[in-house]
Amino acid sequence: MGLPWYRVHTVVLNDPGRLISVHIMHTALVAGWAGSMALYELAVFDPSDPVLDPMWRQGMFVIPFMTRLGITNSWGGWSITGGTIANPGIWSYEGVAGAHIVFSGLCFLAAIWHWVYWDLEIFCDERTGKPSLDLPKIFGIHLFLSGLACFGFGAFHVTGLYGPGIWVSDPYGLTGKVQSVNPAWGVEGFDPFVSGGIASHHIAAGTLGILAGLFHLVSARLNVYTKDYVWAILKPSCPVVSLLSFLQLLLLLELCGMVRQTTPIELFGPTRYQWDQGYFQQEIYRRVGAGLAENQSLSEAWGIIPSGSMDSGDGIAVGWLGHPIFRDKEGRELFVRRMPTFFETFPVVLVDGDGIVRADVPFRRAESKYSVEQVGVTVEFYGGELNGVSYSDPATVKKYARRAQLGEIFELDRATLKSDGVFRSSPRGWFTFGHASFALLFFFGHIWHGARTLFRDVFAGIDPDLDAQVEFGTFQKIGDPTTRRQVV
């Protein structure tokens, strides 16, 4: 009989050569996608304005990953930090993309070779001549090599001893650049905002992996694992791994949306926590207050450029209009209530310094008491292109109040990208969504395979007596072996 559609992977059951083949092919697909996606993003990426139009505003996904590992230059002669480069070297954005594509092709060829030459002597027990795998040895080899790569990344690449270092920035994303990092071996190494923890953790984990790999390679374990022994090991481990996978999901949902040294905001964009808590707004007001304390004018104090939103939605930011300050007819300074995270529409509400509502844009104008017209709200800009310009026309004031719900106000080019005004997620959002999806898949995958392990006789799906049970005419009642027809 044919295999059910959900049992097609049985073709690699007890076939190590072709099991290796499908895994190599999977690696080829992943590496090929990464290289191809990098080339596509480089084709559409505009590096001309790293301040107003950084990579995360342009929706780049793989370029941030390359940049945080130390790639900043392009064969096109530009640098991610601005300016031009005369000699970008082989490890540019294009060089890394090309290396992934070449690696993908080599893996593709290797997968074909292992699929054709599947019956290798290495998969046979030299004592009995029967197919068998020395799983402790295989595990030791993989653990040793992965530990070596992990140790090398932390000890050489991150520290700059033999490599570029990694992207390091400040909490406000103002001073980011690639630099070497010294390992942090104290308690501070566990702080997600300390870059030294990246180096020290990779060195420690790599050392542990190397030692554990060597242990499995040189241990005097003469027996090889049989299939039944593997099942016996998997039975208690699957529930544990399922729990760890679930915990991983919770951690990723929390951590991937937060700023850490591994996901700098210049590359992946700001987080929802920074918006909800007014993180940048508080710092901007602190700096403005410091400027006013030094006897600067409002225009001088507000001569700063904050961040913006996504290109495909609002358009390309080409200039900052300035910081709008709203006032009522009594001279009180009013603040626009910003739109919370996950909202697409929100009432326009202006509050004073004490949080008391002083003006709004009402839904029912006949019953309004705090409308812009009634309160006499005006707006004046400080810094930016509209520095010193004020408006008292209610329609114009309401227009800028609506735009102030989304933070600072920019002049936006909507025509170039045909921007449609729809809110879009940043690369950080996709990063979080992707990891959450994979964590769920891993979690349910471990539940599935744990159930297969515990109830493999029920869930195998391939019963040697299945042919006889469903053969037409064998039983009076199909599938009921107690109703076998008597041969006349």
Q: Which residues of 305-327 are buried (b: 16+ CB within 10 A; e: fewer)?
A: ebbbbbbbbbbbbeebbbbbbbb
Contacts of 144 (CB under 8 A, 6+ apart): 209, 210, 213, 214, 217
Q: Compute the distance between CA of residue 21 and CA of residue 113 in angstroms, rounded to an integer.
A: 8
pLDDT score recorded for residue 199:
94
Q: Do residues 394 and 326 touch, judged by C-beta distance below 8 A?
A: no
- Name the 3-class secondary structure at 322: strand
Q: Do residues 326 and 351 touch, judged by C-beta distance below 8 A?
A: no
Q: What is the DSSP string of 238-265?
A: HHHHHHHHHHHHHHHHHHTTS--TTS-H
8-state DSSP, 352: -
User: H/E element holding 412?
Assistant: strand 409-413
Contacts of 167 (CB under 8 A, 6+ apart): 67, 68, 69, 70, 176, 177, 178, 264, 266, 267
Could you tell me the two tokens for 233?
A: 């090991």
Q: Tell me which residues of the chain have a pLDDT lower than 50.
A: 1, 222, 224, 306-308
pLDDT score recorded for residue 329:
92
Q: Compute the distance between CA of residue 362 and CA of residue 105 in angstroms, rounded to an integer.
A: 62
Q: In which residue are the tokens 């509400």 written?
A: 349
Q: Compute the distance between CA of residue 191 and CA of residue 251 in angstroms, rounded to an integer.
A: 15
Q: Compute the distance between CA of residue 271 and CA of residue 173 in angstroms, rounded to an integer.
A: 12
Q: Do residues 417 and 311 touch, judged by C-beta distance below 8 A?
A: yes
Residues paired with 78 in a beta bridge: 84
Of 335, 340, 336, 338, which is closest to residue 273 (Cα–Cα)?
340
pLDDT score recorded for residue 1:
47
- Name the 3-class secondary structure at 437: helix
Distance between start and end Cα atoms, the chain:
28
Tens digits of residue pLDDT in 294-325: 888 888 777 655 444 577 888 888 888 999 99
Could you tell me the two tokens for 372?
A: 């812009």
